[in-house]
Each structure stands twice: as C-alpha cells, then as structure tokens.
Structure 1
Amino acid sequence: MTEESAHYWQHPDLPGVDLLRAHYVRHTFGKHTHDSYVLASITSGVEAFHYRGGLEVAPAGSVALVEPDRLHTGHAGVPDGWSYQVLYPGAAQIAAVAAELGAAPGSPGFGTAVVQDDELTRLVLQTHQAAEQNQVLAASTLLRLALARAVSRHSSQRLVRPVSGSGLEAASAARDLLASRLEQPPTLEQLADAVGARPFPLLRAFRDAYGLPPHAWLTQQRVRTARTLLDTGASPADVAVAVGFVDQAHLTRHFRRIVGVPPGAYRRARKNVQETIGRSPAA
C-alpha cells in the first residue's frame, strides 16, 4: 500500500481523547511534543522515532508509548511505511486511572517507549472500532481498560491496589440502569457517576459480579431481549433498532455469536415450533 491516508478525529462521548488512524510512507514528523499521552498501536510496517535521546523502532504488533511534553519525531522504518491506530488521552485522564489503580498522585511515566503487549494492542484497536461504530459504552470501557493496562503494566511508578468494598450494590445498580437503557446506554463514566462509583472500581466490581464488563453484558442483554422480540414475530430489522444495535448486520453478528444461528433463522424456527404446537390435538 503506497497511498497515504490519515483520519484524525474525536468522539463526543470520549471527551479529551483524540484518535488517529493513518498509513504513512513518505510523511515524516519533525520534532514536536503533545500535551497528551500517546498510545500508538502499529498494525503494519515499522515506525521509527527519536525520543529521549535515542532512536526507537516500533514494528507491527507493538505499541509506542509517548509521555506529554516529550520531544519526539516520527518516520517510516521500512520502505513501505507504517500503519497505526493511536489514542491521545489527556494527562488528567491517565492520572485519574493511575490513582484508581493505587499510584501516587501525579502523571505517571512509562519506563519503555515501545512495548510488545498483545492485550494493550487489542484494547487500543477495539477502542477505535467501538468509537467508529458509535458503541459508546464499549468505547468508553475499552478506553478505560487500555489506559489501565498501559499504566499497570508499563508505568515506571509502583502501583498498590487500593482496598475497597465489594461494590456489589453499585454493580447491581449499574446492571439495572443498563437494562433500562438498551437503546442509548451511558458511557462508563456516566454509568459510574449514576451509581455513585468511580469508573475503574465499578468496572472491576461489575466483572466480578457478572463475569463480564458492562459493555459485554449489555450486548448479551440486547441479544436476550432480541430473542424475546423475535418470538413475538417482530422482524430482525425492527428488533435491531429496538434493542440498540446499529443495524441488522450488527444484530446478526452478535446474535449468531451468542445464539449460534442468525436472527432470521431463529425467528423462522421458533415460528415453526409455535405453529406445530398450535396444531397439536387437544389432550
């Protein structure tokens, strides 16, 4: 791929975070700084950049971590260039996540500029995907998990997990709120605020209580509700809108993953069973 492309944007439900998806071949970044952190997941090729007095090389599958106000550059490390997806979280966001994880006050630094961390890579990419699909709860949750992963695994500060209660009451209240707002779920931050908790402790308590993070539980609940609506004869297209999926294709993907068959096939099979039962002779 020789054509260069770049899409730099913000999602309204991820305040204070810029996002960049780009492919560069000839483009070079001169010496510059950011007032935010940089979490750059390299998806193909190699990026090279001067940083903290040395040359860093970030191949595909790695994540580049740059601190605020640190002078750095950027250029292709191979002739074909590099592609990446980048999160630019503000210093206050990283500091808040670090505090929830038990770090000392202040903005943490990263001991290594380029890390091999498959989980962090996955979280950065999934945050982008969820934001692009306007899945606000998933995007805000995945962002929080990505920041927590970066801080907990790669911060140069020592973290001590804070002692807290079980959080079951907050998790239960959050579950009930999500169940009532399938079509327009809150972000993780809004959900935590609504139940009087902080985002990361709520996320941890919710996962402990129900086995899934809130956005994954929401997807399961949407599919569960979709099944009920399909049983009444509603069309998959109408059901997708009713339970908050982007479109029928979005419903189909998750429905098939959880139920095992597409919603149309499920609806037809259920209709046949109900018709058969209706024709059964009385006892």
Structure 2
Amino acid sequence: MEEQARFWRHPAVPDVDLLKARYVTHRFARHAHAEYAIGLILDGVEEFAYGGTVHRAGAGEIVLVNPEVAHTGHAGVPGGWAYRMLYPSLESMTEIAADLGRAGATPYFPEQVVRDPALAALLERAHRAAERGDGLAASTLTRTLFGRLLARHGAPGPLTDPLAGRGAVPAGAGRRAVREAIEVLGASLADPPTLDRLAETVRASPFPLLRAFKAETGLPPHAYLTSLRVRRARRLLKSGRPPAEVAAEVGFTDQAHLSRHFKRIVGVPPAAYQRAAGTYKT
C-alpha cells in the first residue's frame, strides 16, 4: 500500500497545522514539539511510545499528544495506518480553555487514546472542511472540536511551568538546570556546546544533568537539539527560505541531513512542507 502525506495550514484556522497521511513503513523519530497533536485514526493501527508507555490507536480512536512530551509513531499492523491530524498551538488551546472558564491553566490531556464517536465524527468534519477550503465551516467546526475535547477529555495544568507534563520531575537544581540547558541549546543550534560545556554553563555536573534532562524531556540533549532544529527549520521554510540555506542556519550538515530528520519528525519532506505553505520555489 502506497504511503502518502499532505501537510498544510488553512488561513481560516490560524495557529493550527493539519496533516492527512497514510504510513506503512515510515517511523517517526522520538521527538517533542511545541504544539498539541490531535488526530483521528481512519484505518489500521498506529503505535506510539509516550511517557514510558506504548499506546495503540485503532480506527475510530482519537490520539491526544500534549506539547513538549517526547513520543514516537509507527505502524501497529502490517498495513500501516491512515489518519487526520491537527496541531493547534499552545496559545490557541489556552485561549479556548479561558473561554470555557479555565483561565490561568494550561490545557492537558491525561489520556492519550480515547474512543469518543461523536468527537471523532466532528474531527473528521472539521478536517475535511479545511481540506476543501471552506473557511467558515473549518473555523467553526475546529473551534467547536477543541472546546468539546477540552471539556470532555482535558484537565488543567499549571500555566507557569514550562516543563509541565513532560514526565518525571527532578527536584530543585535539576529542574532549573534543565530549563537553562534548553535555553542554551535553543540559542546555539548551529554550534551547540558539548555535554561538559553545557553542564558547566548551567552550573551542573554532566551526568546528573544528562539524567535530569532525559527524565524531564524524555530525550537526551542531542536528540532534543534535533527537535529544536526542526522547529526552527519549519519557521524558516514557511517564510520562504531555501532548504539548503535553512539547513546551514539551524545546524544540519547539508540539505539531505535536514530532509532526513525533517521527515522523521514532521512526516513530510521540506519541499512538500513549503508547497503546503505556499513558499516553495522551483
């Protein structure tokens, strides 16, 4: 069965990326992203590691992935899986939560796979509306979907904690060091420090920092750096920058290196991503 994927953003649904795909052999690398990932499995089974557990989501089930939580994704059956995904920003979901009377709290989904036929049908309708270009229907149905998901399956989390929901929490200086290490990595994508240098910069020892970093983010620093590079690459590609130039700016060795990691995390190659954003240049 042939793999196919389309990634795009509808102007009527701001701060929400969309993906429609069928994957058979493709495997998403372990990564974390800044957005929520909310999707409906249309066919087959997806398996994904999340928070120390391997989840299985089958046809008709909804997948709910919180921001900044490391996870993977691969086929759970030989025929792979097909799904429709939405990636709303943290800001847009927080705004909707405030509209529901949950101001001052970050929305959080405690269950990663839920079976809710009514919401599954609504998700598919919202996604299809965005696919066919119906702005009013897409914006109305998408906002209704997110509101109902939060009301039925969401829980409040602390808005002030940027590491909330990322897994086991090291205490005191460990958490502080992880926060600072993430900031250092984000500021040095093209020329990252060694682990020893990173630990020295955040006033920690290398091994305790490595242990705390992995416990908190689900990833070791070098893998988290790859996620950060891909995030920056998405923004630059969307602005119309050439992939080769983007690769150099975010720290990949060349365009092929960018393409390999970009597809393993986003699900489509950079050129397809730019075509969806309307910034692809031949």
Per the normalisation by structure 2, the TM-score is 0.54
Q: Which amino acid aligns with 1:41?
A: L
In structure 2, what is the equivalent of residue 117 of structure 1? 116
Partner of 1:155: 154
Deviations 1:90-148 (A, max 9, x none): 00111111111111413111110000011221121111111122211110000001101
Give the SS at the match of 2:74. Answer: strand
- Cα separation, 2, equivalents of 1:60 and 1:36: 23
1:141-196, Cα deviation, whole Å (9 max, x unpaired): 000011011100011239xxxxxxxxxxxxxxxxxxxxxxxxxxxxxxxxxxxxxx
- Work out the CA distance in 2 between the residues paired with 1:18 and 1:101: 23
8 Å Cα contact 1:92-1:107 kept in structure 2:
no
Structure having the higher Rg: 1
Q: Given that residues 39 and 64 in structure 2 are in contact (C-alpha distance below 8 angstroms), is that contact kept between their aligned partners in structure 1?
A: yes
Local SS of the residue matching 1:40: strand
Retained in 2: the 8 A contact 1:37–1:68? yes
Give the letter aligned to residue 112 of structure 2: A
Structure 2 partner of 1:136: 135
Aligned to 1:20: 19
What SS is found at the alignment partner of 2:2? Answer: coil
Residue aligning to 1:36: 35
Larger RCO (CA within 8 A; separation ≥ 6): 2
1:255-270 matches, within 5 Å, as none
State the superposition RMSD in angstroms: 1.2
**Cα distance in structure 2, aligned partners of 1:155 and 1:66:** 11
The answer as to whether partners of 2:51 and 2:71 remain within 8 angstroms in 1 is yes
Q: What is the aligned partner in structure 1 of residue 5 from structure 2?
A: 6
CA apart distance, 1:20: 0.2
Residues 19 and 85, structure 2, Cα contact 8 Å, conserved in 1: yes
For the 8 Å contact 2:105–2:156, the answer to whether it is kept is no
Amino acid at match of 1:149: R
Structure 2 residue aligned with 1:91: 90
Partner of 1:108, secondary structure, is strand
Contact 2:61 2:115 in 1 (8 A): yes
Deviation beyond 4 Å, 4+ runs, structure 1: none
SS at structure 2 position matched to 1:107: strand
Classify the secondary structure of the residue corresponding to 1:35. coil
Task: Report the 3-state secondary structure (helix = DSSP H, G, I; strand = E; otherwise coil) of the residue aligned with 1:41.
Answer: strand
Secondary structure class of the residue paired with 1:96: helix
TM-score of the two chains, using structure 1 as the length reference: 0.54
For 1:146 and 1:92, the matched residues in 2 are separated by 16
Separation in 2 of the partners of 1:152 and 1:70? 21
Structure 1: which 5+ runs fail to align? 159-283
* C-alpha contact (below 8 Å) 2:24/2:80 kept by paired residues: yes
Kindly provide the CA deviation profile for residues 214-265 of structure 1, in whole angstroms up to 9, marking residues without a partner as x.
xxxxxxxxxxxxxxxxxxxxxxxxxxxxxxxxxxxxxxxxxxxxxxxxxxxx
Secondary structure of 2:123's partner? helix
Q: Distance in 2 between matches of 1:96 and 1:12?
A: 18
1:51 CA displacement: 0.2
Correspondences of 1:1-283 after superposition (within 5 Å): 2-157=1-156
The 8 Å contact of residues 106 and 156 in structure 2, kept in 1 or not, is answered as no
Structure 2: which 5+ residue stretches go unaligned?
A: 158-282
Query: Which letter does structure 2 place at the counterpart of 1:59?
Result: G
How many residues are matched? 157
Q: What is the CA–CA distance in structure 1 between the aligned matches of 2:127 and 2:103, rounded to whole Å? A: 29
- Mapped to 1, the partners of 2:25 and 2:96 lie a distance apart of 36
Conserved 8 A contact 1:10-1:19: yes
Seq. identity, %: 46
Contact 1:47-1:58 at 8 Å conserved across structures: yes
Q: Specify the code of the residue in structure 2 equivalent to 1:110.
A: F
- Partner SS for 2:19: strand
- One-letter identity of the residue aligned with 1:144: R
